[in-house]
Structure formats: C-alpha cells, structure tokens
Amino acid sequence: MNDFLQFFSFSDPNVRLVVLGTALIGACSGSIGTFMVLTRKSLLGDVVSHSILPGICVAFILYPVRSGIHLFIGAMVAGLLSGIAADYFSRKSVLRPDALFALVLSVFFGLGVMLITYIQQNYGAGQAGLDAILFGKAAAINQDDLTYITVVAAVIFACLILFFRSFRMITFNAGFAQSIGVRVRIYNGILSSLTVMAVAIGIQAVGVVLMAALLIAPSIVSKALSNRLWLILLISAFVGGLSGLLGSFVSYTLPAMPTGPWIVICLSLMVFAVLPFRRKFGNS
Amino acid sequence: MDSIWIIVVGGLVALNCSLVGNLLILRKSVMIGDALSHAVLPGMVMGYFYFGDTNLIGVLGGAALAGLVLVLSIEWLKKSPLLKEDSAIGLIYTVLFSIGVILVSVFASQVHLDQEHVLYGEIAYVPLDRWFMNGTDMGPRSFWLGLGLLAILILVLRFSFKGFNLTSFDPDFAASKGVRIKVWNYFLMILVTAVVVVSFENVGAVLVVAFLVAPGASALLISHRMKSIYTLSSAFALIIAIGGFFLADFTSTSISGSMAFFSGILFIFVWLIRKRVRA
Amino acid sequence: MNSALDIENLSVSYGKKIALENISLSIPAGQITGIIGPNGSGKSTLIKSAMNLIPANSGNVRMLGSELDKVRKRVSYVPQRESVDWDYPVSVFDVILMGRYRPGRLFLPLSAEDRKIAEESLERVQLTEYRNTQIGQLSGGQQQRVFIGRALAQRAELYLMDEPFAGVDAATEKAILDLMFDMKSQGQSIVLIHHDLVSVRDNFDHLVILKNKLIASGPTSEVFTTKNLIASYGGSMRIMQELDV
C-alpha cells in the first residue's frame, strides 16, 4: 500500500520518467495497432516485434551502449526488413501468409538469439542487459530513452492526425481507395513504418516476445465501446497508456519481475471486462 | 560424442516438428502452432512444480491442459464480434505465455526453467541429462523421448493420413460425408502439443516454430506431391539440425538459435534453385 | 412421386442478417432441379444448411425421405470451386479417391473396389490423361470436372451441387450437362445452384427461385415466369427481354 501511494503520488522523478515513457509507448502501440486489427493483420505485428531482436543486437555490437537512439534505429531496420520479407515471399510463392509469417519470425529471432549469446560472451551478460529486451523492463527507461520515445510518439500521433482519412480509407476498402486515385502503396508504407516505430519503442516496456498483445488488445477494448474510428483510436491510446502505467507500477514494486507479462495480463483483464458490452455506448 | 548427441537430438526434434508442421502448413494454421508453442508454458511450469522435474506425465498433462485452454478460448473468443481469429490467437497466446513467464519468475528456485530457457531452450545440456535403466547409462533422456515420439508420430500419421488430407483440403466436403471436422482438428492439436512439449526443453518456444514451419515450407517450394513433400521436409529437417549445429560451433553462439537461422538460409537456398529442381 | 429433398420451415441467419426465412419446399426425385436467385439470395446457404454444414435457426430437412444422418452415403455434396485451395499438393486422382472415403473407415486402406470406382469416375469426367496432375495445374473447367468426378465416385442417388458451371468454358458446360442428363437417365436426382438464366428452360425439370424467401418452386414450365423473376431479381427488365419469357 505504501508502495502504491508512493508510486501514484509521482513524487519520485524516476517514477515520473518511467510512467511517462510507458504511457506514451502504450498509447502509440494501442492506436497504431488498431489499424492492424481492423485489417486482420494482427499477427504481422507479432512478426515485426520478434524480428527486431537481431537489429537491436547488431546495433549494440556496433555501438555498445545499452540504451539510446541507435538501438531504435537497429530495431527499425530489422523490423522493416522482416515486414518486407514476409510480404515479398507471400506474394511470390504458393505458401500462405501464416506459414511465411511464422518462418520469418522464427528465423529472425533465431539470428537474434545467436547474436545475444555472442554479446553475452564478448561483453558480459550483465553489462549487455539485453535480456530486458525479451520480456521488457519498464523501470530501465532513462532520460535519453524518454527523449526519443517522446519524439517517436510525436511523429506517430502527428501522422495519425494528418493521414487519418487516408488510413481510414485504405484500411476499410483499399480497392476503392485505389480507384479514386489514393496512393494506397505509399500510405500502406507509412502505416507499416509507423507500426515498426511503435514496436521499436514498445519493446522497452513489453519486450519483443509479448509486444503483439500491446498492439492487439487495446483496440479490442475500444471496439467494444465505440464504432467510430477516431473514438476507437483515442480509447485504444488511452487503454494502451493505462496498461503501460500499471506495468511500470509492477516493475517499480517488484524490480526482479519482467514488465511485459504484467502489462499483458492487465490488458487481457480489460478485454475480458468489456467483452459482454458490444458497443452499447458510443453508438451514434 | 557430446556433439553427436546434440546433432541427433536436434535432428529428432526437427523431424518430429516437421511431421506435424506439414499438417499445420497444409491447413493454413501455422499460427496456431506458434501460439501452442508459447501457450503450453504455464501448464508445463505447474506440471514441474507439482510433479517434479522428471515426471513426464505431469508436465505433459499440464501442457495439454494449457493447450486445451488456448484452443477452446480462441474458439470462444472468435464468436464475439469484437475479435477475428488473428486477434484472438494473438491475445490468448500472449496471455498464457505471460502467466507462464510470471510463474517461472515466481518459482525460479523450484523449477529448472528460466526466462531465457523458455525462449530458446538448452540443447547444449542435452548430453548431461541421462537416462538410467537399472543403473545402466542408456544415453541422453531427450534422445529416447524424441525417438519414442517419432515412432508414435510415424505410426499415427500412417493411419490418419487420409483423414488429415480430407479435412484439410476440403472441410465442407468432409463434413458433408459426416466426418467430424472438429474431432480431427483437436486430434492435430494434441499431436502438436505433444511435439511442442517434448521439443520445448531443447529448443524453446520460438525456435520450435522454426522447426514446425521451415522444412515443410521449403519442401512446398519445389514439390506439390504429398509423398515427396514428406520425404523432402524430413531431409531438410536433418540438414537444418546438422547445418545449424556446425554454424553454432563455427560462430560459438546458441545452438538452437543457429538451427533456426540456418533454416532460413536453407529456405532462401531452396527459393533460389526452385525453378531448376522440381521434385 | 418420391421426393429427393424436403425442406420445412427452414430459417438461417448470420448474426442479425437473415439469409433464409421460413423456406418450405419439396424437390422431386429423378429430376434435374435448378436453384436460382440473385447474389446473396441464400442459394448456397440453402444447400449448406440442408447438408448441416451451417446451423439453422429452425426447420426440418429430409433427404431421400429420411434424416440426413441415415442417408449420408446416398447423398453427395459438391462445394463451390473457390471454396478450396487449388495449390494443395494432391493429384486429380487423389481428389477423386476422396469420394470413396468413409468416416468410419478413414483409418483403414481403401479397397481395390474403391480404386476401380474412382478410375471409372475419372474416365466419366474425361480426365484420365490428367490422372497424376496436381490440381492447381488444371483449367477452371477441368477443376470443376474433378469435383464432379469426386461426386460420381460417391455413387450417390442425390447430388447437391453449388455452382457447378461457375467459371467454366462452353465446351465443359456442355460436357457436364451431358453427364447430368446421363445421371438423370440412371434415376439419380441432381439439385444445382445456377446463375445463368438463359439456359434454365432447356435444362432443368424443376426450378426453385429464391430471394431469401421462397419465391417459387415447381416444374420449370410453370414457375419460370416474368412475375417470379421480377420478384426475385427486381425490376431489371432488360434481362427479362433478353430471355423473352
């Protein structure tokens, strides 16, 4: 209880840092993930988040500091590569997306695991601290992290507001959008890049393995409460942010615990709480 | 000698996974296999906790229970207008895996799993965990487990091949003949769960997926005959185990990670030569 | 006259959307029956719910005078061609053999008799030269013939076919029709979903017209009228003029 008061009074500047970081992370993933759920591509988020691991490892090997913008760039590159690979092979072969998603996910992750063992041998296990990337460690967010998280979040929100109509159109009916001259490929590219960005900052709190939940679950909650897209996005962002907050509380009180699983459990409780609702309000 | 045991056990894991993985690929439900490979964790931890590390029945039972929870809750959630199949899978497996990870952290002292172990296994320790019969050293326990499972799988698939083929290719037609689609689906889930549990300790949750999908996917690139798909994917499974081991040895990195990565190299290789070879 | 298919008060809905409302009809045995109606009029739903592939809200279906479960062996269902993945690694003969599979004997090998029947069916749909071809390499018409071949291998008495002429070239359409007349002359009943109104009068003995409700069911000469077609398809008179009904 003491912990609870101390945490939620936000008097500790460190707590403020972590809370702000995780809330932003949750809000980004929640809103961007909504589009993935609407287009039934939730599992692509899973692929991208697992695939980020080797990117982070390579970035660390090139510039061995645990946190910072270079890890984010490594994550972006690997995430985009995996998305492109999954897309390319599923367009060009008889294999279905589900098989290719699983393949890309596990191959990238396999490479990541190889690199993690390499780092542990060459840089020392504790020093690397990369194990936090697997299951997340919200409390490890520092001032540098918060800076780039904020910048990335600003970019994501700005794009969401700027391209709201286009995103709505291409995710609802891509064929129609194409027919009236909307550049579907470009907007899809932007949307995918934003997703990778959200994932790349999200792993700080949730870790690569469970990241999919932070993309999927908030939009399920918001779809239960509204059927207007802009409201769904707002609620998703709020739910994502809230789960980040709860996750960082757990991380604060139980430092040995990975944060990711707790965030996922918070999210799932919210989903189960709204399941019976089915849009009873906000139905205008 | 240790290296040989690791390759042999890796080969068995890959073979077992590829046999059920082929069925998952043909049914377009690979993601269910991925989800199962994560979801069994809480069941396994509880099994270890209540029945001890060496009691296979307890671990298998716990895992099967968790697998059942996954399959049933996906089916239940799909009925809600809020979730489609993909989001239901993504949600449930992450929840179950989260519970598993939390349990692993809580019971860290009582259970021989740790957070990294559940992701990528400990195949390097395979030769250490030996099976003694009447005091005689019979070799690594994982070897006998994998071999036993392989024998069971070959036997089961031999007899259920027609049923899986019919229900995967044209479920509506199968149902029109009175074949119970759901029963066959659960049957496959049981097989996948068994394979996942036995493979889990060796290669972990994520890398099981590589073995489930890579051999069959590579085989499908160059063949569209069921028999050659099974032959090719078995061969690929063994190549992945051997190639992955030497890659790990050469780079001195994680063996299971190398095997998963090598499966990607194999896939790309088959992709590049696919127009020249048609089996 | 015996009836092949009797439906009483069948209602089916998907969520809140009503697909079929209170359908009652009787289809005579030994004839070729067409089911027509615009897209979304519940044609496929009718067949699928009759085969118990999708649950009905209410209603009672009897095939060949009995409950479906008692006569499954005597009934054959031909799904829409698009309903399966044609990249699936099976050969033409593999698919036709599936007609001989029986639920209780899936674990046992097929008999020589089963194989003989499948070979005969392969010949009847004129695909002998494609026996070992992977099904994805076939043309649309050939793929449709594979499905009909599989149905023939079932040696049924009642055949329910979902759009057997969809995406089929003229030559194949003729071949399939000839086959159907042949089957009819052997006393078998065929019920098929159709969407080409032009060929209705020449080929179907009996006609069912749907628009989520039953518009008409009866001998083609009696129910294939402008009034019924407008009730089903709406007032697109151009179609009617072309048909000259």
What's the rounded Cα separation, in Å, for the pair B58 and B66? 12
Q: Across the interface, which of B160, B166, B224 has its CB nearest the CB of C134?
A: B224
Give how far B134 is from chain A: nearest CA, Å. Answer: 38
C84 part of contact set with chain B, CB < 8 Å: yes
Residues B252, A136, B97, CA angle at the centre, nearest 5°? 85
Tokens 């009236």 belong to which residue?
A: A180
**Tokens of residue A280, six digits:** 């009873």
C-alpha to C-alpha distances, B112 to A176, A259, B103, B122, nearest whole angstrom: 55, 21, 12, 11
Q: Which residues of A touch B207 (CB under 8 A)?
A: 106, 109-110, 113
Q: Which residues of B touch C107 (CB under 8 A)?
A: 159-160, 162-163
- Which residues share a beta bridge with C66? C63
Residue B227, classified by CB atoms within 10 Å of its CB into exposed (0-12), middle (13-18) or buried (19+), is: exposed
- Is A2-277 assigned to CATH 1.10.3470.10? yes
Q: Report the SS3 class of residue C32.
A: strand
Residues 6+ apart with CB under 8 A from C226: C240, C245
Contact C27, C223 (CB under 8 A): no
Q: Which residue has the higher pLDDT, B156 or A127?
A: B156
**Contacts of C104-112 spanning 24+ positions with Cβ under 8 A:** C106/B160, C106/B162, C106/B163, C106/B166, C106/B179, C107/B159, C107/B160, C107/B162, C107/B163, C110/B162
Arithmetic mean of pLDDT over chain C: 89
Contact A67, A60 (CB under 8 A): no
C-alpha to C-alpha distances, B78 to B71, B87, B90, C10, C104, nearest whole angstrom: 11, 9, 12, 26, 30
Residues B43, B199, B30, CA angle at the centre, nearest 5°? 85
List b or e across C104-122, with b for residues whose CB sees 16 or more CB atoms inside 10 angstroms: eebeeeeeeebeebbbebb
Out of A123-127, A210-214, B61-65, B169-173, least confident range: A123-127
Q: How far is CA B199 from the centre of its chain?
A: 6
Q: Across the interface, which of C48, C79, C90 has its CB nearest the CB of B165?
A: C90
Q: Across the interface, which of B98, B253, B261 has its CB nearest the CB of A261?
A: B98
Question: B256–A209: do the CB atoms touch at under 8 Å?
Answer: no
ipTM: 0.91
Q: Which residues of B touch A100 (CB under 8 A)?
A: 217
Q: How far is CA A260 from the centre of its chain?
A: 11
Q: What architecture (CATH level 2) is domain B2-121+140-278?
A: Orthogonal Bundle (1.10)
What's the rounded Cα separation, in Å, for the pair A121 and A115? 10
One-letter amino acid identity for B53?
Answer: D
**Tokens of residue C98, six digits:** 């599936």
Tokens 């190299």 belong to which residue?
A: B265
Give how far A6 is from chain B: nearest CA, Å. Answer: 24
How do residues C190-223 score in pLDDT, each as one tens digit? 999 988 787 787 889 999 999 999 998 999 888 8
Is the pLDDT assigned to residue A284 strictly greater than 50?
A: no
- Partners of chain B (3+ Cβ pairs below 8 A): A, C
Give how far C22 is from chain B: nearest CA, Å. Answer: 23
Mutate to test the interface with B, among A103, A108, A214, A222 (most CBs of B within 10 A): A103
**B262: nearest CA partner in chain A:** A107
C203 part of contact set with chain B, CB < 8 Å: no
Q: Which residue has the higher pLDDT, A140 or B96?
A: B96
Q: What residue segments make up the domains of chain B, in order of their start?
A: 2-121+140-278
- Which residues share a beta bridge with C28? C3
In percent, the amount of chain B with pLDDT more than 90 equals 52
Sheet with C17-28: list strands edge to edge: C17-28, C3-14, C58-63
Q: Which residue has the higher pLDDT, A64 or C139?
A: C139
How do residues B202-223 score in pLDDT, each as one tens digit? 888 878 999 999 999 999 999 9
What pLDDT is stored for residue A130 in this prediction?
67
Q: Which residues of A touch B27 (CB under 8 A)?
A: none
What's the rounded Cα separation, in Å, for the pair C10 and B274? 51
pTM of the model: 0.88
Mutate to test the interface with B, among A48, A98, A278 (most CBs of B within 10 A): A98
Rg, C-alpha atoms of chain B: 19
What pLDDT is stored for residue B26 in this prediction?
93
Question: B168–C88: do the CB atoms touch at under 8 Å?
Answer: yes
